[in-house]
Structure 1
Amino acid sequence: MTVTTWVVVADGSRARIFETQGLKLDLREIEDLVNVVPAGRTLSEKDREKFAKTVADYIEQGRLHQRYQRLRLTVEPKFLGMLRERLSDETHRMIFEEINEDLSTLDAREIEAHLQRH
């Protein structure tokens, strides 16, 4: 059976979820979550924490539905801490790599190139 890996690339305002088979870096974007705040307002700490819960819930649902067997997080450092706090122990065990960087503005090929260097 081929192992499916989810690669989560996120910061406090956007989380992109990619899927790839095995350890290959052939990323296919399956979800793009955006932290929407009312117009004219800047993103507060509370907004970022609420968004961390949204992203964590999506990751947890993916695990519960067995959509992936391995997780790779490439997340802006402060947001990574918020996200980590909201993931279950079962999901933590599926994480095989964490990269403390914000790559959320890059396209899939740029992300692949960056991850290959790690």
Structure 2
Amino acid sequence: MSSTWVLVADSTRARLFEVAPANKALSELACYTNPDGRAPGRKAATDRLPRVNESVGSVRHAIEPHTSLREKSTDHFAHTLGETLERGRLEHSYDRLVLVAPDRFLGALRGNFSKDLSDCVVGEIRLNLTALPLHELHSRLPGDLLARGLAES
């Protein structure tokens, strides 16, 4: 039997649901957290910026990293979620995938998807709904989106 998974995520938390074919009810499969996602750009342990020597003389300059630790943490979290979804796809745990995430994190997720995984995506909602209780989350998901995923069963 084919199945639909719904990933509700942001840079700090992700919840994975499965849609029951009979009544379109959501059941939570897993919850993931990224505690570093709320950290400021630099952590206290790495507050001092890296240094570089001047090519002439003994002057040293601080350099800003191109990517903040928070961005790296977010990318790593998106990569981990992408691996989890890919593993589920390869194990035939689901056929269709619905993504619910804010624009910025949705882009990070999409950047970690293979073509085959991207082909499983039947819909996207560009909102942060990770903190909603299950009954409210279900009411915020468009019924036609869930029905579209199940209609192909």
The normalised TM-score by structure 1 is: 0.89
Corresponding residue for residue 3 of structure 2: 4
The aligned length equals: 116
Larger Rg: 2
Corresponding residue for residue 117 of structure 2: 91
How many angstroms apart in 1 are the aligned matches of 2:124 and 2:14?
A: 15
Structure 1 residues 94 and 23, CA gap change in structure 2 (3 angstroms) = farther
Q: Is the 8 A contact 2:101 2:128 kept in 1?
A: yes
What residue identity is the alignment partner of 2:40? T
What is the RMSD computed on CA atoms of the aligned residues? 2.0
- 1:115 alignment partner, one of 115, 138, 141: 141
Deviation at 1:112, TM superposition (A): 0.6
Q: Deviation string for 1:33-53 (max 9, x for gaps)?
A: 100339x94371111111000
How many angstroms apart in 1 are the aligned matches of 2:22 and 2:118?
A: 18
- 1:55 alignment partner, one of 63, 77, 81: 81
Q: Is the 8 A contact 2:12 2:36 kept in 1?
A: no
Deviation at 1:78, TM superposition (A): 0.3
What residue identity is the alignment partner of 2:13? R
- 1:75 alignment partner, one of 78, 101, 106: 101
Deviation at 1:25, TM superposition (A): 3.1
Q: Is the 8 A contact 1:4 1:69 kept in 2?
A: yes
Q: Secondary structure at the match of 1:17?
A: strand
The normalised TM-score by structure 2 is: 0.70
Q: Which consecutive residues of structure 2, in runs of 5 or more, have no partner in the other structure?
A: 42-69, 146-153
